[in-house]
Structure 1
Amino acid sequence: MTGLRASLNVLQERNFRWFFVSRSINMLGSMMTPVTLAFAVLHIDNSAESLGLVLAAQMGANILFLLFGGVIADRLPRRAVMQGCYLAMAAIQATMAVSLATGWASVASMMVLGALSGGVTAFSMPAQQGLIPQLVDREQLQQADSLMSFVRNGGTFVGPVVGTMLVVTAGPALAIGIDAATFLVASALLAKVELPSVIRRGTPMLTELREGWSEFTSRTWLWVIVAAFGVLNAIHIGAWVVVGPVVAKNDPDLGIRGWGLVVGAEAVGMLVMSVILLHWRLQHPLRAGMAGMAFFAIPLLMLGIRPATLPMMAVAFVSGMGTQTFSTGWTVAMMERIPSEVLSRVSSYDMLGSFVALPIGTLAFGWLADNVDVRTLLLVAGAAYATLALATLLVPQVWGLRRQGDEPESSTLRQDLTKKA
């Protein structure tokens, strides 16, 4: 069964229902934080380089602990790992909110708190990725992910708009304080998820890391896309997250409010596509996904050509649709093709490869934005992004990967994937 009815049937599963409510509340609070954090740092020091330092500290700590987080998520109950991470994040966000409200926040303190939050997230992300297949049947994975994406993208639309309004009217402390509260509520609700006890092996951590690496490298489609995203994400965070707010803040045709609307329009595109994916089965999830990711180059190029609010909103909407297509396709491919007992470890290698260049991207683009022509920088970034995203489609395993159960029995691709899976 597909479509909206199937997605609602997913909510009949008690454990997934509580997980869905917990994550939904958490996401609605957290979606305000990226744009709020950006303008909070720029309020302290109006410099792209300072914002780059804070984001680099956050991403650097995340990268440092990701592999350890993947092993822990495969060893310990994943629900308990997520609960502990939520409580830690509540404390970190509350501290950040108080520091901003009382005026003692500095770039250095924001770097420390950002590093702590990045380290905690390194444990929660692999745990979440490994938990979802324990909550729903395999045939319901796309519907479950699309339903989660619907709420996440709704929060991504509302969050930046509300966040920017709070920055303008009340300052960033309130938005970050609200995020801290949602982590507390989410942790309490997650306690309702009941899973059978799983016996974890007492093998050495290095052995478990080698097992995860073997699973990761045995799938060409997996490591090719992860390698590509190592560069794509660096361009994204550098050009869009670091340079974008700086351009917006200093451009009379865009401004802070306009930037919030552009980011919100991107989220609406993701929201619309998440609804479409409740009905449309992705037969070639990676082919559709990487083609969709190439559309992100358009708002990057327009940001360098003429960052007017309405045209930027239009292209950001289309880009959001493409991003969501990849997000769902990638999640389903991972959950279908990788055994549950190693999924968190493989996910940690995925995240490590995808995120490893993020600190470089934040620092490099932060420095470049202060030292070279920003328009040229954004045009080069957009062209490079489109070229790399489309180049992955030249790899047969990326172009030809199908959903499990959809492959022709006699195809070489099926034989190859079955052998590797």
Structure 2
Amino acid sequence: MPPRLQKFLLGYSGTSLATGLQVILLPWIAVAVVGLPALHLGWVQAAVLLPNLLFLLLGGALADRRDSAVVSALACLGLALCHGGLLLYFSYRIPNLAVLLLYGICLGVCTAFLQPARDNLVQRSARDREGHTTESRVQKTVTWMMLAQYGGQAIGMLLASRFDQWGPQLLLGIQAAVLLLAAVILLALREKKPSVPEEGKRPHALILDGLAQTWRRPALRELIALMAFNGFVHIGVFLVVLPLLAAQFSGTDGRGASYYATLQLAFIAGTVGATVTMLRRGQGRAPGRGILMCLLYSAALLLAISFGPTPLGLILLCICWGGVAAASAALGRGIVQLFAPAEYRSRIISIYQLALFGSAALGALAAGVLSEYAAPLTTLMWAGILSLVAFVLVAFSGALRGVEVNGGE
């Protein structure tokens, strides 16, 4: 494996480890330490995601004008400061809803600048010794990136599963330290970026150019619309309903955080298994069709969980859910890397992620409201029904379904 790719994967896995910790820590601090109800939990989760609506496109424009490695490193430093700030607050008192909302907003702002810049390093890391790339090398690098992401998240979740024994302070300190290390590694990937004709453009003009480039490509247009649906229905449900189900299953035995971490690890186990399979077999020549099948499988899994499985059954279904989610994510991000023009790539990546995570913020709010006034299993049932409807609608369109690439084997 080339040294540049090793550095990229190591830095990427470090940021993902911190994310894996955050996925467990933030909702469990809100539920178990602060004692927030389902509706307020939805607010906290949305506070992390909503800043993407305001800053993600700006982050993409910044990464296209500046070195993506430098932007990624600065965003990691910002995230480390966020975790360090909450750790310092914990030294004096237990946080309340307002503090968690502020913490979530700061995390969301830093993440909005990290995501497009970090993913734009794929093409740089996929180069061979002569500085050239091929479609198959880019696809494989994307798959390696996904493996680094899921592996890092798995390690973070394993650490977070010790929440009941270690407490939040130690885990927040680990997050901050890992992000500082990731910042140093990603900064090592920087290179001198040539000046571009857009250098004098204002940020809003750069963003509009990125939107126009996306709209001109039907496959990217349809892919981003589908990712917006996935974010609203699937990620929003996952963020809110899964911790609620974990709390119900664990009862009052004081082991809720461990079971929730087990569910998250089961999900990650599925993602790792699917990603390793894709590394061995490739993403295929028709990634758009693969994404459509993932949508169908997601609908089936959501409906299955809505029938109320046993605790062990929920773990097994989370493994399957993780595999489907990983395949869909790798295929979608591979399409963006291959079809987005180099000079607009960070902006199109940011549009893709805005559709996914911006809609997830709204989905988390909707899932919180529905779960508060109905039941978590009812929320899952409606998510499954909507996914079936979306599959039928997208299957009749040919833009995404007809996407083919060379060297997909």
> Is residue 122 from structure 1 mapped to residue 118 from structure 2 by the alignment?
no
**Residues 386-416 of structure 1: per-residue CA shift (max 9 Å, x gap):** 432453232211111111467xxxxxxxxxx
The match for 1:266 is 267
**In the aligned structure 1, how far is the partner of 2:221 from the partner of 2:107?**
27
Q: Which residue of 2 aligns with 1:186?
A: 182
Q: Is the 8 A contact 1:286 1:326 kept in 2?
A: no
The alpha-carbon deviation at position 108 of structure 1 amounts to 0.5
Calculate the TM-score normalised by the size of structure 1: 0.87
1:6-405 alignment, distance < 5 Å: 11-12=1-2, 14-42=3-31, 43-136=33-126, 137-138=133-134, 139-163=136-160, 165-200=161-196, 201-252=199-250, 255-281=256-282, 282-389=284-391, 391-404=393-406
Distance 1:222 1:128, change over 3 A: same
**Change in CA separation of 1:359 and 1:276 when aligned onto 2, cut-off 3 Å:** closer
Structure 1 position 121, deviation (Å): 1.2
Q: Distance in 2 between matches of 1:169 and 1:127?
A: 36
Structure-2 change in CA distance of 1:388 and 1:256 (3 Å): farther
Q: Which amino acid aligns with 1:155?
A: G
Distance 1:298 1:125, change over 3 A: same
Whole-angstrom CA distance in 2 between matches of 1:182 and 1:295: 35
Q: Distance in 1 between matches of 2:256 and 2:166?
A: 17
Residues 48-76 of structure 1, C-alpha deviations (whole Å, 9 max, x = no match): 11111112222111221111111111111
Return the letter of the residue paired with 2:286: H
> Do the aligned partners of 2:56 and 2:350 also contact (CA within 8 Å) in 1?
yes
- C-alpha contact (below 8 Å) 2:76/2:180 kept by paired residues: yes
The alignment-based identity, stated in percent, is 23
- Partner amino acid for 1:175? L
Cα 1:360/1:73, change in 2 over 3 Å = same
* CA 29–353 in structure 1, closer or farther in 2 if over 3 Å, else same: closer
Kindly indicate whether the alpha-carbon contact (under 8 Å) linking 2:68 and 2:118 is maintained by their aligned counterparts in 1: yes
Match of 1:415 in 2: none
**CA spacing shift, 1:307–1:173, aligned 2, 3 Å:** farther
CA distance in 2, matches of 1:204, 1:25: 33
Q: 1:24 to 1:126 in 2, by over 3 A?
A: same
Cα deviation code 1:336-378 (max 9, x no counterpart)? 1111110011112222222333332222221221212333222
Task: Give the TM-score normalised by the residue count of structure 2.
Answer: 0.90
Q: How many positions carry a matched residue from both structures? A: 394
Listed as ranges, the gaps of 5+ residues in structure 2 are 127-132
Distance 2:51 2:293 in 1: 31
Q: Aligned pair in 2 of structure 1 residues 405, 146: CA closer, same or farther (>3 Å)? A: closer
> CA offsets per residue over residues 100-156 of structure 1, 9 Å max, x none?
354241111111111111111111111122221122123311221222222222233
CA-based RMSD: 2.1
C-alpha distance in 2, partners of 1:291/1:34? Answer: 27
Aligned partner of 1:300: which letter? L
Does the Cα contact within 8 Å between 1:293 and 1:319 map onto a contact in 2?
no
Whether the 8 Å CA contact 2:305–2:380 is kept in 1: the answer is yes
* Alpha-carbon contact 1:289-1:330 (below 8 Å) kept: yes
Q: Provide the rounded CA distance (Å) in 2 between the counterparts of 1:57 and 1:233.
A: 15
Confirm or deny: 8 A CA contact 1:153 1:271 kept in the other structure: yes
Q: Could you say what secondary structure the match of 2:57 adopts?
A: helix
